[in-house]
């Protein structure tokens, strides 16, 4: 944590009485790919806007590359490339002109602009469509152009807000691959927000789960799954041929095995949650007892379960505090506000 | 599949070192210049501007045609002390079939300003380009200023070239040399017109910051314009008739006083300020914009004023227009600077 490039301290944002971001503390290190993960209306975009000085926080500070984003946004913007969730371009201009404009705004010398634009366009795979009007671009192409728009400035930090929105699956793969490669080769710090779990899982070094304006957990995927499912990281489902006789006794004997945490048997399937991967032992046990095993299914918790779990926990907490409606309302309002 | 070229990344790194020196230069003006250039190019290419250009050129040509055909009568009118200002006559002479050019401009100038500015900010916001633009290292106020200045540059070039065309055409047609005083009066007229358009432009930009939909801001701006050109005069007259005492029972002094009050009320409308000022500038014999008493008129020879004196007369009007422009712009600035930019 010695060279944090993004430091958020107690960042808070109110919209009227609505708390969009709630006392957020976050440090992102140089060269890291960080995924901000959360459902719609969790406050991801608001947080990003505060990092860029595009909106003022109600409390706390955001420091990016050592500059205060609220009081010195220009210095921050010199270092940070930001791609908004719905990128727009001047439809009457070609992609080339759009990009040259941005390049010139960033003080790239005039004689450099042309080949720099060309290189960047080719990098994102738009070399062929360079002189088309952006009005004729598809959503995915615009997204790529948005990335080119960020890259042409050679930023130290790239912030991508829902970057994979509207791109087809192969496109997403390429896109994420490119981002990862850039981060690795040039040490660029990447912050990407998304509600697509799998994509985040593919590229991010660390993930922060963000629900209702609060950062519920952060860490790499392994850490997160350990935090959450330390009790029951593995779930083994065993299906046997005949209906299990005497289920309660069976559960009791299984629970005596040291790693087993929870057993639920119903009909001819039995689900065993355990802290370690003891599938072979379990299979051996059932075979020894003379059961005919039809199938063994072993499940490891991925990001989806982690996410689901955090989200669910948060929901039930809210319900128990009698304010579940607030959460739903919030996400609903945000959607309409978009 | 896109491959990352090592060549490119190597160059990227080299340039990063080079960029440092570029950003070290106090380059505050540079992004601003880029923005103004882009905005000017956008305006010139837009259909909207072409339509407006055609409209104004047609008006100009029509007004010129009428004034040229009446030029002889206007110049030989012995009762008119301004008859020797040929080029000013070109701008103001009319036989009543068409209003002169400067009266036309009090309508068209407003329309020009509104149409160049009504979607300055909100169209960018709706297209999603605003947030992208403001994520670049540019100051927010530079964007507003660039929008304002680029439109103003275009308007200035347009009117300057129209006036120069008029002067050139007048030279060819009549063969009379232009006086220095006439030239300066025409120049002042152009500056005043640009200022007047600038007022409506800043009002339109203000509304484009305020309203999210371009149509709303356009309609509001046109509403304000209509109010000032049509309804304001009616409302003032209504108030005067119901509140002010009957002029038949007033002394001379009271009549002058109330007339001044009415004029001052009317001058709250920017188009009135503009018409007052241009009339004074283009008709050198106009010596006061309010009513004159007999004592003031006594001993005055109906002769044209010097350029300096005319400008002194219109100075309050000019500063009024400037102040209104500044207020609109400041308000737009105030609303825009701390606004959350979100698509």
The mean pLDDT of chain A is 81
Q: How confident is the model at residue B253 (pLDDT cuts 50, 70, 90)?
A: confident
CB contact under 8 A, A84 and B135: yes
> B245 or B185, which is more confident?
B185
CA of B223 vs chain A CAs: smallest distance (Å): 28
Q: What is the mean pLDDT of residues A139-144?
A: 86
pLDDT surpasses 50 at A324: no
Query: Range with the lowest mean pLDDT among A39-43, B109-113, B300-304?
Result: B300-304
Tokens found for residue B113: 């300003």
Tokens encoding A292: 């005919």
Contacts of B34 in chain A (CB under 8 A): 101, 104-105
Identify the CA nearest to B146 among candidates B111, B116, B189, B109: B116
End-to-end CA distance of chain A, in Å?
Answer: 35
**Least Cα separation, residue B200 to chain A (angstroms):** 25
**pLDDT, average across residues A270-295:** 83
Residue A324 CA neighbour count, 13 Å, CB half: 10
Three-state DSSP class for residue A192:
strand
Class of the A234-300 domain?
alpha beta
Nearest CB partner across the interface for B137, out of A78, A89, A182? A78
B7 touches chain A (CB under 8 A): no
Cβ-based burial of B106 (10 A; exposed 0-12, middle 13-18, buried ≥19): buried
CA nearest A116: which of A151, A65, A81, A161? A151
pTM of the model: 0.80
Contacts of A274 (CB under 8 A, 6+ apart): A232, A233, A234, A235, A236, A257, A259, A260, A261
Integer Cα distance of B5 and B17 in angstroms? 19
Three-state DSSP at B217 gives helix
Q: Do domains A4-89+137-227 and A234-300 have the same CATH topology?
A: no
Whether A149 sits inside 8 A of B132 (CB atoms) is yes
Q: Is the pLDDT of residue A317 over 70?
A: no
Which tokens go with A140?
């995915």
Taking the Cβ of residue B50 and every Cβ of chain A, the question of whether any pair is shorter than 8 Å is answered with: no
Class assignment of domain A4-89+137-227?
Answer: alpha beta
Given a cut of 90, whether residue A250 has pLDDT beyond it is no
Helices (H), B121-179: 122-127, 129-134, 140-174
Predicted confidence (pLDDT) at residue B20 exceeds the cutoff of 50: no
Phi, psi angle pair for B140, to nearest 5°: -65, -40
Token couple for A253: 């004997």
pLDDT confidence band for A232 (50 / 70 / 90): low
Poorest-confidence range of A25-29, A212-216, A275-279, B207-211? A275-279
B212 at interface of A, judged by CB pairs closer than 8 A: no
Q: Strand runs (DSSP E) across A202-252, as ranges?
A: 206-211, 214-219, 234-240
- Residue A322 has a CB neighbour count (10 Å cut-off) of 8
The pLDDT of residue B36? 93
Q: A65-74, A172-181, A192-201, A328-337: which has the minimum mean pLDDT? A: A328-337
Distance CA(A331)–CA(A215), nearest Å, equals: 16
**Predicted pLDDT of residue B203:** 96
Contacts of A52 in chain B (CB under 8 A): 135
Stretch B211-232: mean pLDDT, rounded?
Answer: 93
Which is more confidently placed, A190 or B301? Answer: A190
Q: Give contacts of B134 with chain A, Cβ < 8 Å.
A: 54
- Res A17 pLDDT > 70: yes
Return the structure tokens found at A207. 């993930």
pLDDT exceeds cutoff 50 at A6: yes
Residue spans per domain, chain A: 4-89+137-227, 234-300
More confident residue, A62 or B73: A62
Whether the predicted pLDDT of A281 surpasses 80: yes
């Amino acid at each position: 944590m010695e060279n944090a490039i993004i430091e958020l301290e107690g960042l808070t944002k109110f919209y009227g009485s609505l708390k969009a971001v709630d006392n957020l503390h976050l440090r992102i290190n140089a060269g890291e790919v960080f995924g901000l993960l959360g459902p719609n209306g969790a406050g991801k975009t608001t947080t990003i806007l505060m990092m860029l000085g595009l909106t003022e926080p109600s409390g706390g500070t955001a420091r990016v590359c050592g500059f205060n984003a609220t009081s010195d946004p220009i210095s921050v913007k010199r270092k940070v490339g930001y791609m908004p969730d719905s990128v727009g371009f001047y439809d009457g201009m070609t992609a080339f002109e759009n990009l040259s404009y941005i390049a010139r705004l960033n003080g790239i010398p005039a004689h450099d602009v042309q080949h720099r634009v060309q290189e960047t366009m080719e990098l994102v795979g738009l070399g062929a469509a360079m002189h088309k009007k952006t009005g004729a671009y598809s959503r995915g192409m615009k997204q790529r152009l948005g990335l080119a728009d960020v890259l042409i400035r050679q930023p130290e930090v790239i912030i991508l807000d829902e970057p994979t929105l509207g791109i087809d699956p192969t496109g997403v793969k390429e896109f994420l691959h490119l981002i990862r490669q850039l981060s690795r080769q040039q040490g660029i710090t990447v912050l990407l927000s998304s509600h697509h779990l799998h994509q985040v899982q593919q590229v991010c070094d660390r993930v922060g789960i963000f629900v209702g304006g609060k950062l519920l957990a952060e860490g790499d995927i392994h850490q997160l799954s350990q935090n959450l499912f330390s009790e029951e990281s593995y779930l083994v489902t065993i299906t046997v041929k005949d209906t299990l006789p005497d289920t309660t006794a069976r559960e009791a004997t299984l629970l005596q095995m040291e790693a087993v945490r929870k057993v639920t048997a119903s009909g001819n399937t039995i689900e065993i949650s355990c802290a370690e991967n003891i599938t072979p032992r379990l299979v051996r046990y059932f075979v020894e007892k003379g059961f005919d095993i039809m199938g063994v299914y072993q499940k490891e918790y991925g990001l989806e379960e982690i996410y689901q779990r955090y989200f669910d926990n948060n929901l039930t907490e809210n319900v128990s505090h009698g304010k579940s409606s607030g959460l739903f309302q919030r996400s609903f309002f945000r959607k309409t506000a978009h | 599949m896109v491959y990352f070229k090592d060549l490119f990344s190597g160059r990227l790194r080299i340039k990063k070192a080079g960029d440092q020196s570029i950003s070290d230069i106090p380059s505050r003006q540079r992004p601003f210049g880029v923005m103004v250039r882009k905005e000017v190019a956008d305006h010139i290419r837009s259909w909207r501007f072409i339509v407006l250009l055609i409209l104004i050129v047609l008006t100009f040509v029509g007004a010129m045609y009428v004034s040229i055909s009446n030029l002889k009568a206007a110049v030989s009118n012995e009762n008119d002390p301004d008859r020797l200002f040929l080029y000013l006559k070109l701008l103001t002479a009319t036989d009543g079939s068409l209003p002169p050019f400067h009266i036309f401009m009090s309508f068209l100038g407003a329309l020009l300003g509104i149409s160049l500015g009504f979607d300055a900010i909100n169209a960018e916001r709706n297209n999603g380009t605003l947030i992208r633009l403001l994520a670049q290292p540019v100051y927010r106020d530079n964007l507003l200023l660039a929008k304002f200045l680029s439109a103003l540059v275009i308007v200035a070039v347009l009117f300057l070239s129209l006036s120069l065309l008029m002067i050139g055409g007048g030279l060819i047609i009549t063969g009379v040399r232009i006086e220095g005083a006439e030239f300066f009066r025409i120049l002042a007229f152009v500056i005043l017109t640009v200022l007047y358009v600038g007022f409506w432009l800043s009002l339109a930009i203000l509304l484009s910051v305020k309203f999210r939909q371009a149509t709303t801001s356009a309609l509001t701006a046109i509403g304000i314009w209509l109010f000032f050109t049509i309804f304001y005069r009616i409302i003032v007259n209504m108030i005067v008739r119901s509140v002010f005492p009957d002029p038949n029972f007033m002394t001379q002094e009271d009549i002058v006083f109330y007339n001044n009050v009415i004029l001052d009320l009317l001058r709250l409308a920017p188009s009135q300020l503009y018409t007052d000022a241009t009339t004074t500038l283009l008709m050198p014999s106009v010596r006061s914009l309010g009513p004159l008493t007999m004592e003031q008129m006594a001993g005055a020879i109906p002769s044209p004023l010097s350029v300096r004196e005319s400008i002194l007369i219109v100075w309050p009007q000019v500063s009024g227009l400037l102040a209104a422009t500044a207020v609109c712009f400041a308000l737009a600035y105030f609303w825009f600077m701390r606004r959350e930019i979100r698509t």
